[in-house]
Amino acid sequence: MVLLFTRNSLVLKSSKKTILTVTFPFLNSLIYCTEFRFLTISYDKRVIVLANFTINNHHHMIQIKDLHKSYQMGNNSLHVLKGINFNVKEGEMVSIMGSSGSGKSTLLNILGILDEADSGSYILDGVSIKNLNEKVAANYRNKFLGFIFQSFNLINYKSALDNVAMPLYYQGVKRKERIEKAEYYLEKVGLSAWSHHLPNELSGGQKQRVAIARALASNPKVLLADEPTGALDSKTSQEVMELIQGINDEGKTILMVTHEHDIAQMTKRIVHIKDGLIIDDNPVEQVRASLYV
Amino acid sequence: MFDIERWQEIFETLRKNKLRTFLTGLSVASGIFILVILLGFSKGIENGVTSQFQRDATNLITVWTGTTTKSYKGLNPGRYIQLKNEDYYAVSRKYDDYIDYKSSLYSIWGGTISYKNETGNYQIRGVMPDHQFIENADIGVGRFVNQSDFDEFKKVAVIGNKLKKDLFKDEDPIDKNISIYGMNFKVIGVFYDPGGEREESQAYIPVSTAQKVFNAGDNIRNMLFTIKMADNFEEAVELSKNISQNVEADLKQMHTVAPDDTSAVRVFNTLEEAKKIYSLIGTIQAVFWFVGIGTIIAGIVGVGNIMLIIVKERTKEIGIRKALGALPMSIVGMILQEAVFVTMFAGLFGLIFGLGLLEIIGPQIQSDFIKYPQVNFNIALTTVFLLVLAGALAGFFPAYRAAKIKPIIALRDE
Ligand SMILES: Nc1ncnc2c1ncn2[C@@H]1O[C@H](COP(=O)(O)OP(=O)(O)OP(=O)(O)O)[C@@H](O)[C@H]1O
Ligand SMILES: [Mg+2]
């Protein structure tokens, strides 16, 4: 039930939350309310009161139920994910840990709609990700998800700048604006001076930062990072983590795979995977990366 | 197709992959170039051989005589058979229905001809008016021997262009008198002959005049007949062959020559020769076509192969683009547009380069057997489009597959 007050009079009473989301999209995260509470906020000089709702301004961005994935190799089948269950709320920052080969990348690829699960459900922002048509999938990859690959995956004949601008090309952004935005994000990762270098003229850490800038350029809601600090020394790692924390501060949901405990401590929640199952899922006291620098 | 951003992306890709672009372009351009040159020379040879052959009418029957080699009906061998006017009239009457042009000939091989201070030895041929058409002689100035020249034994001469140049230089020869063995002949025309200089160093005079001034009575040396062309080449060959055989038999009978005596009366039929030459041209063309089609196929396979390799090499890039939100069709479209652009550009370049080279080299070629090498532009253009299509098709399927598979699989490609 949604009750909407303006200047102390009830203007809207609805059992459908969609009315609010459509009228005031910025309230999107406010709708997923669970407790009885009053909220008074100011919007456009009017006062809107949401009544009878508890504000829990984190709705589930990612919901995974009983996810299975096997790899087929000839006659052998390798069962990698054996029933993963977990939810991630909007604005969370989660690290996924586990030994090598435990299926972390496999899981992240499925979350990034780069791969498909064999069974189980994956709901992204309220939409079931199953048998999506190519157009919808492309749209999600383009605008909603940012992916940072373990192996960077930069286009080797394009400069750092053009690599960063690539997702914007597929968003239909005009060339001039594309370049401007890409420059902005390259600066954010501290690579302005390298913008015209090809990937093979960059160090591993620099490539990683180009990949981060590219993932950020499309301004995604969810950032998926597969060992974003894997190729970096500890100092650069702190810098990159500071960057990622900053992005999280802006409200973006972040999932990252890491092997390093001190890096995991910089997130807000650690999920442990072993033999294709989540064995441990705990919140952590976030350590700000800026403390190290 | 007219998306500027897309074109920019494509040009950038081409520019950043210069070697790949260059090699693709080179293979297409050189394929087309070779084909153009090949077709050009094939046509050139056809033109050359045909024009060599065209100097005489193609369905000509020539009759000449020699000495008998066999005794027949009590007559000894070694007898010279002399053709007479009456032989000519008998044959032309009998086969009138089949004959187009006819002429009897009385020739002097090396006759002295002079004009003012210039003198030379030339072949002098006494002919009938029809001879102009039999020889395919092209009258440049004036006219050929006509019926009244023949009837009235006029002392007139039609001289070849070479002869004219020798004796008259730049002077106008018409109505001037030349001297043949001291007798004055009035020049009435100059002829050109596609057969070349040898044919053009002759003088034609009426055969009646020739018989008179060379005291030949009613002797003739040859008779020439052209046979009307049948619709069908094979039929024409058959007809000419029959007529020549009959003429030979008739003349042998009239001159009491053994039917199997091959040297006393001889009848030569050009159409039968033509058949051999035509089939030679056919063979040459077939060979060129074979090589040409081989070149096209090699080109198609080559371009297809290059496209396959390019797309294979770009599988990972396709995966990256997809992961960043590209639609499969936009990827396929980009790759095809790129392929079509490069092959088309290179193909047209090869075409223009080949045509240009033919234009420059063609006129320089001095050989009698290659003349005006030229290319059927449509065939060349069609080939360019074929190659473009082949490149597009060969690029389409792997590109489509790479764009359709899950991005993670494309990304794993190394
Ligand atoms: N394409 C594939 N085909 C077959 N097996 C695969 C494939 N990809 C991954 N695997 C297997 O699945 C298992 C999980 O792989 P995954 O890449 O998810 O591990 P990970 O947890 O990311 O490891 P790491 O920490 O080393 O990156 C591994 O045993 C791997 O060998
Ligand atoms: Mg991994």
* A102 plus A153 within the same structural domain: yes
- Separation of B408 CA from ligand 1 center, angstroms? 12
**Extents of the domains making up chain B:** 4-52+276-412
ipTM of the complex: 0.80
The encoded tokens of residue A23 equal 């009228």
In angstroms, rounded to a whole number, what is the distance separating the alpha carbons of residues A113 and A284? 28
Q: Where residue A195 sits, what CATH number does that domain have?
A: 3.40.50.300
**Over residues B119-141, mean pLDDT:** 88
Q: B233 pLDDT exceeds 70? A: no
* A240 plus A266 within the same structural domain: yes
Q: What is the pLDDT of residue A150?
A: 85
Give the gap in angstroms from C-alpha A282 to the nearest C-alpha of chain B: 30
Q: What is the pLDDT of residue B269?
A: 84
Q: What is the pLDDT of residue B279?
A: 75
Is residue A230 within 8 A of residue A97, CB to CB? The reply is no
In angstroms, rounded to a whole number, what is the distance separating the alpha carbons of residues B268 and B146? 26
* A126 plus A6 within the same structural domain: no
Q: pLDDT band at B287, cuts 50/70/90?
A: confident
* A25 plus A168 within the same structural domain: no
Q: pLDDT band at B281, cuts 50/70/90?
A: confident
- Tell which of A80, A118, A155 to mutate to test the B interface (max B CBs under 10 Å): A155
**Over residues B257-273, mean pLDDT:** 85
Give the gap in angstroms from C-alpha A56 to the nearest C-alpha of chain B: 32
DSSP conformational letter for A162: H
Virtual CA dihedral for B118, B121, B127, B129, nearest 10 degrees? -30
* A244 plus A175 within the same structural domain: yes
Nearest CA among A51, A39, A46, A7 for reference residue A23: A46
B166 DSSP β-pair partners: none
In angstroms, rounded to a whole number, what is the distance separating the alpha carbons of residues B283 and B276? 10
**Over residues B104-119, mean pLDDT:** 89
Q: pLDDT band at A4, cuts 50/70/90?
A: low
* % of chain B beyond a pLDDT of 90: 30
Nearest CA among A190, A200, A181 for reference residue A235: A190
Q: What is the pLDDT of residue A23?
A: 47
Q: B56 pLDDT exceeds 70? A: no
In angstroms, rounded to a whole number, what is the distance separating the alpha carbons of residues B314 and B13? 11
Q: B307 pLDDT exceeds 60? A: yes
Q: What is the pLDDT of residue A25?
A: 43
Lowest mean pLDDT among A278-282, B228-232, B348-352: B228-232
In which residue are the tokens 């899950």 written?
B406
Max Cα–Cα distance, chain A, nearest Å: 69
* A155 plus A141 within the same structural domain: yes
In angstroms, rounded to a whole number, what is the distance separating the alpha carbons of residues A149 and B83? 103
Q: A57 pLDDT exceeds 70? A: no
* A39 plus A173 within the same structural domain: no
Q: Which helix (H) or strand (E) holds B204?
A: strand B202-206
In which residue are the tokens 């960059």 written?
A202
DSSP conformational letter for A59: -
CA atoms within 13 A on the CB side of B223: 25
User: Residue whose CA is closest, atom 3 of ligand 1?
Assistant: A71
Q: What is the pLDDT of residue A7?
A: 46
Is residue B326 within 8 A of residue B314, CB to CB? The reply is no
Q: What is the pLDDT of residue B31?
A: 86
Q: What is the pLDDT of residue A196?
A: 95
B170-206 pLDDT, tens digit per residue, is: 899 999 999 998 899 999 999 988 777 888 889 999 9
Q: How many domains does chain A have?
A: 2
Radius of gyration for the alpha carbons in chain B, expressed in angstroms and rounded:
34
Region class of B74: left (phi > 0), else alpha (psi between -120 and 50), else beta? left
Most confident of A267-281, B23-37, B237-251: A267-281
B25-45 pLDDT, tens digit per residue, is: 888 898 888 888 888 888 888
- The last residue of one of the domains, among A10, A37, A54, is A54
* A207 plus A284 within the same structural domain: yes
In angstroms, rounded to a whole number, what is the distance separating the alpha carbons of residues B102 and B202? 19
Contact criterion met (CB < 8 Å) for A162 and B12: yes
Is residue B26 within 8 A of residue B342, CB to CB? The reply is no
Dihedral sign for Cα atoms in the order A149, A152, A153, A158: positive
Virtual CA dihedral for B6, B9, B13, B14, nearest 10 degrees? 60
In which residue are the tokens 């081409």 written?
B14
Chain center to CA of A82: 23
Q: What average pLDDT is seen over chain B?
A: 86
Q: A31 pLDDT exceeds 80? A: no
Q: B95 pLDDT exceeds 70? A: yes
Contacts B321 to A, Cβ<8 Å: 155, 166, 170
Q: What is the pLDDT of residue A26?
A: 42
Position with higher pLDDT, A1 vs B100:
B100
* % of chain A beyond a pLDDT of 70: 79
| pTM, to two decimals | 0.67
3-class DSSP state of B366: coil
Is residue B266 within 8 A of residue B65, CB to CB? The reply is yes
- Separation of A102 CA from ligand 2 center, angstroms? 8
In angstroms, rounded to a whole number, what is the distance separating the alpha carbons of residues B121 and B74? 43
Contact criterion met (CB < 8 Å) for B325 and A149: no
Contacts A149 to B, Cβ<8 Å: 411
Q: Is A171 touching B (CB cutoff 8 A)?
A: yes
Position with higher pLDDT, B213 vs A39:
B213
The encoded tokens of residue B324 equal 């960043």
Q: pLDDT band at A3, cuts 50/70/90?
A: low
The length of chain A in residues reads: 293
* SS3 annotation, B340-382: HHHHHHHHHHHHHHHHHHHHHHHHHCCCCCCCCCCCCHHHHHH
Is residue B188 within 8 A of residue B174, CB to CB? The reply is yes
Q: pLDDT band at A10, cuts 50/70/90?
A: low
- Tell which of B4, B313, B324, B400 to mutate to test the A interface (max A CBs under 10 Å): B324
Q: What is the pLDDT of residue A290?
A: 81
Dihedral sign for Cα atoms in the order B133, B137, B141, B143: negative
What lies within 8 Å, CB to CB, of B268 at 6+ separation is: B61, B62, B63, B64, B244
Q: H-type helices in B85-206, by residue range? A: 85-94, 131-134, 147-151, 161-168, 197-200
Q: B80 pLDDT exceeds 80? A: yes
Nearest CA among B231, B222, B262 for reference residue B69: B262
Is residue A146 within 8 A of residue A223, CB to CB? The reply is yes
* A40 plus A93 within the same structural domain: no
Q: pLDDT band at B17, cuts 50/70/90?
A: confident
The length of chain B in residues reads: 414
Q: pLDDT band at A14, cuts 50/70/90?
A: low
Q: H-type helices in B54-168, by residue range? A: 85-94, 131-134, 147-151, 161-168
Contact criterion met (CB < 8 Å) for B5 and A153: no
In angstroms, rounded to a whole number, what is the distance separating the alpha carbons of residues A217 and A183? 10
Q: Given 3-state DSSP classes, what are the helix, strand and coil percentages for chain A, each rounded to the nearest 5?
A: 35, 30, 35
**What are the backbone dihedrals phi and psi of residue A33, each rounded to the nearest 5 degrees, phi first?**
-105, 145
C-alpha pair distances (Å), B289 with each of B35, B384, B388: 10, 16, 21
Is residue A274 within 8 A of residue A99, CB to CB? The reply is yes
**Over residues B404-414, mean pLDDT:** 87
Burial classification of residue A177, based on how many CB atoms lie within 10 Å of its CB (0-12 exposed, 13-18 middle, 19 or more buried): exposed
3-class DSSP state of B169: coil
* A23 plus A132 within the same structural domain: no
Q: What is the pLDDT of residue A19?
A: 45
Region class of A227: left (phi > 0), else alpha (psi between -120 and 50), else beta? left
**Over residues B255-261, mean pLDDT:** 89
**What are the backbone dihedrals phi and psi of residue A79, each rounded to the nearest 5 degrees, phi first?**
-80, 105
Q: A33 pLDDT exceeds 70? A: no
Dihedral sign for Cα atoms in the order B177, B178, B181, B185: negative
- Separation of A65 CA from ligand 1 center, angstroms? 21
DSSP conformational letter for B76: P
Position with higher pLDDT, A32 vs B290:
B290
Q: What is the pLDDT of residue A56?
A: 42
Is residue A232 within 8 A of residue A204, CB to CB? The reply is yes
Radius of gyration for the alpha carbons in chain A, expressed in angstroms and rounded:
21
Q: A39 pLDDT exceeds 60? A: no
Domain that holds residue A120: 60-291
Q: What is the pLDDT of residue B308?
A: 84
Q: A32 pLDDT exceeds 60? A: no
Q: pLDDT band at A113, cuts 50/70/90?
A: very high
Q: pLDDT band at B52, cuts 50/70/90?
A: low
* A216 plus A252 within the same structural domain: yes
Q: pLDDT band at B148, cuts 50/70/90?
A: very high
* A285 plus A191 within the same structural domain: yes
**Over residues B365-373, mean pLDDT:** 71
